[in-house]
Amino acid sequence: MSLLTLDPIETARFRAYGPRHINEIAQRYGLPDDVREAVRLISMVLPFRVNEYVLSELIDWRRIPEDPVFQLVFPQRGMLADDDLRRLAAADAAGDRAGLKAEVQRIRETLNPHPSGQRELNVPTDDGAALPGMQHKYRETVLYFPGQGQTCHTYCTYCFRWAQFVGDADLRFAAPGPEQLVSYLRRHPEVSDVLVTGGDPMVMSTERLRSHLEPLLAIDTVRTIRIGTKSVAYWPHRFVTDKDADDVLRLYEEVVASGRNLAVMAHFSHPRELATGPARQAVARIRTTGALVYCQAPIIAHVNDDPDVWSELWRAELAAGAVPYYMFVERDTGPHGYFKVPLARSQEIFREAYQRLPGLARTVRGPVMSATPGKVAVDGVEETSEGRFFQLRFLQARDPSLVGRPFRARFSSSASWLDDLELDPATDADLTAAVRRHP
Residue 269 neighbours by CB under 8 Å, 6+ apart: 72, 156, 158, 233, 297, 298, 300, 303, 304
Residue 390 counted as domain residue: no
Residue 265 counted as domain residue: yes
Question: How many residues are listed for the chain in this entry?
Answer: 439
* Same domain membership, residue 148 and residue 198: yes
> Of 317, 339, 361, at which residue does a domain stop?
339
> Of 86, 109, 132, at which residue does a domain stop?
109
Q: Tell me 275's DSSP state.
A: S
As a whole-number percent, the residues of the chain with pLDDT over 90 amount to 85
Higher pLDDT, 1 or 45: 45
Does pLDDT of 438 surpass 70? no
Residue 384 counted as domain residue: no
Residue 290 counted as domain residue: yes
As for how many domains the chain has, the answer is 2
Q: For the chain, how are helix, strand and coil distributed in percent, rounded to 5?
A: 40, 20, 40
Does pLDDT of 2 surpass 50? no
pLDDT band (50, 70, 90) for residue 437: low
Q: Quick one: pLDDT at residue 168? A: 66
Residue 45 counted as domain residue: yes
- Look at residue 194 and give its three-state secondary structure: strand
Q: Quick one: pLDDT at residue 436? A: 76
Give Cα 210 to chain centroid, integer Å: 23
Q: CA 118, 172, 167: angle at the middle one, nearest 5?
A: 145
CATH classification at residue 226: 3.20.20.70
Q: Is the Cβ–Cβ distance between 431 and 407 less than 8 Å?
A: yes
* Same domain membership, residue 7 and residue 60: no
Residue 395 counted as domain residue: no
Closest CA to 163 of 123, 110, 84: 110
Q: CA 264, 269, 272: angle at the middle one, nearest 5?
A: 105
Residue 5 neighbours by CB under 8 Å, 6+ apart: none
pLDDT digit string, tens, across residues 388-412: 999 999 999 999 999 999 999 999 9
pLDDT digit string, tens, across residues 308-350: 999 999 999 999 999 999 999 999 899 999 999 999 999 999 9
Q: CA 43, 49, 52: angle at the middle one, nearest 5?
A: 135
* Same domain membership, residue 248 and residue 165: yes
Give phi and psi for 50, each to the nearest 5. Answer: -145, 160
* Same domain membership, residue 266 and residue 189: yes
Q: Quick one: pLDDT at residue 220? A: 97
Q: Quick one: pLDDT at residue 171? A: 64
Q: Quick one: pLDDT at residue 35? A: 95
pLDDT digit string, tens, across residues 144-174: 999 999 999 999 999 988 888 887 666 678 8
> Of 289, 321, 339, at which residue does a domain stop?
339
pTM: 0.93
* Same domain membership, residue 194 and residue 327: yes
Residue 219 neighbours by CB under 8 Å, 6+ apart: 182, 185, 186
Closest CA to 144 of 231, 218, 234, 213: 213
* Same domain membership, residue 148 and residue 33: no
* Same domain membership, residue 168 and residue 293: yes
Segments forming the whole domain that contains residue 103: 16-109
Closest CA to 233 of 53, 361, 12, 367: 53
User: Poorest-confidence range of 64-68, 137-141, 171-175?
Assistant: 171-175
Q: Which helix (H) or strand (E) holds 282?
A: helix 277-288
* Same domain membership, residue 122 and residue 22: no
Q: Which helix (H) or strand (E) holds 247?
A: helix 245-257
Q: Quick one: pLDDT at residue 11? A: 74
Question: Averaged over 210-235, what is the pLDDT?
Answer: 98
pLDDT band (50, 70, 90) for residue 3: very low
* Same domain membership, residue 224 and residue 86: no
pLDDT band (50, 70, 90) for residue 439: very low
Structural Rg of the chain based on CA atoms: 22
pLDDT digit string, tens, across residues 264-308: 999 999 999 999 999 999 999 999 999 999 999 999 999 999 999
pLDDT digit string, tens, across residues 46-59: 999 999 999 999 99
* Same domain membership, residue 78 and residue 67: yes
How is 366-398 classified by DSSP, letter by letter?
EEEEE-SSEEEEEEEEEEETTEEEEEEEEEEES
Does pLDDT of 4 surpass 60? no
pLDDT digit string, tens, across residues 87-115: 999 999 999 899 999 999 999 999 988 77
The pairs formed by 380-385 with CB atoms below 8 angstroms and a separation of 24 or more are 380/347, 380/351, 381/344, 381/347, 381/411, 382/408
Residue 393 counted as domain residue: no
Does pLDDT of 419 surpass 80? yes
* Same domain membership, residue 90 and residue 5: no
Mean pLDDT of the chain: 93
* Same domain membership, residue 290 and residue 197: yes
Q: Quick one: pLDDT at residue 227? A: 98
Residue 303 neighbours by CB under 8 Å, 6+ apart: 68, 69, 71, 72, 158, 269, 270, 339
Q: Is the Cβ–Cβ distance between 331 and 160 less than 8 Å?
A: yes
CB neighbourhood size of 388 (10 A)? 14
Does pLDDT of 80 surpass 50? yes
Residue 39 counted as domain residue: yes
pLDDT band (50, 70, 90) for residue 8: low
Closest CA to 269 of 158, 104, 377: 158
Give phi and psi for 367, each to the nearest 5. Answer: -65, 145
